[in-house]
Homo-oligomer: A and B are copies of this chain.
């Protein structure tokens, strides 16, 4: 039976450490979350992030802007937050409404306050091996692997999914740790041919139970990034029940990558407070 990659417990441990550290600081680290429009999933994510901030002693403020906000207003808000000394991290919740250029808006965020690692500068830095500002989900995935002492260097890591938020930055982080990395996606024929080779398998495809036991190598570390609404609740991208007998390690959904993502946001905010960004 696979060892459970317990993101819930690991994230709790991290939050506890962050809370202890925050308590000793002369002032509270501050996170500003910007939510444009009324995407219900985005609202839920921002709610969770705000609540968790408070738990660990991070000041959090939220800026709700209407759906029809124009790019200039958004940019003016971000510039104001860049200049605000009580704010150390700025989170621009994605997706933005279609009439706003997402990358242009993101790139207004000061590098020193880029807690999400989505600015062009941070994307390029990660590609070059500098992980000062790394997106929260990839960082949470890697932290989970490290927590369980799963070897990465010289292993074959297969990433299913190529989004800018998960797949690509996770591949970059695995490559930075000397894994040989394969990136698969919706246009990959015979996905199992690749996943069966993976010592480390990261699945971020957004397809419920895409990966089944016969697609997993015996003893592999399987990390499930999927959060899919299905009848009767939430399903990951991995068929947990069939895979848990074959994988060496496996992350559950929920309780795997999700809580790690939020914990990494808090850690990134504290790092920005400490001025770790280069």
List chain A positions with a Cβ less than 8 A from chain B.
Answer: 103, 107, 119-121, 123-125, 127-128, 153-154, 162, 164, 168, 171, 175, 178, 180-185, 187-189, 194
In the complex, given contacts A180-B188, A182-B182, what are 17 additional A-B residue pairs having Cβ atoms less than 8 angstroms apart? A103-B124, A103-B128, A119-B124, A120-B123, A120-B124, A123-B128, A127-B127, A127-B164, A127-B168, A154-B188, A162-B175, A171-B183, A175-B183, A178-B185, A178-B187, A180-B185, A180-B194
Would you mind naming 23 contact pairs between A and B with Cβ atoms under 8 Å apart? A103-B124, A103-B128, A120-B123, A120-B125, A121-B124, A123-B123, A124-B124, A127-B127, A127-B164, A127-B168, A153-B187, A154-B187, A162-B175, A171-B183, A175-B183, A175-B185, A178-B187, A180-B182, A180-B184, A180-B187, A181-B182, A181-B183, A182-B182
How would you classify the secondary structure of chain A's contact residues: helix, strand, loop or mixed?
A: mixed
Please give, as numbers and ranges, the residues of chain B lying within 8 Å of A103 by CB-CB distance. 124-125, 128
Contacts of A168 in B (CB 8 A): 127
Q: Distance (Å) between the CB of A119 and the closest chain B CB?
A: 8
Chain B nearest CB from A114 CB (Å) reads 12
Nearest residue in B to A153 (C-beta to C-beta)? Answer: B187
Task: Give the residue name and chain of the B residue nearest to A128 (CB).
Answer: B164
The reply to whether B154 and A189 form a contact with Cβ atoms under 8 Å apart is yes
Chain B's closest residue to A169 (CB) is: B127
CB neighbours (8 Å) of A121 from chain B are 107, 120, 124
**Which of A107, A175, A184 has the most C-beta atoms of chain B within 10 angstroms of its own C-beta?**
A175
Inter-chain contacts of A184 with B (CB < 8 A): 180
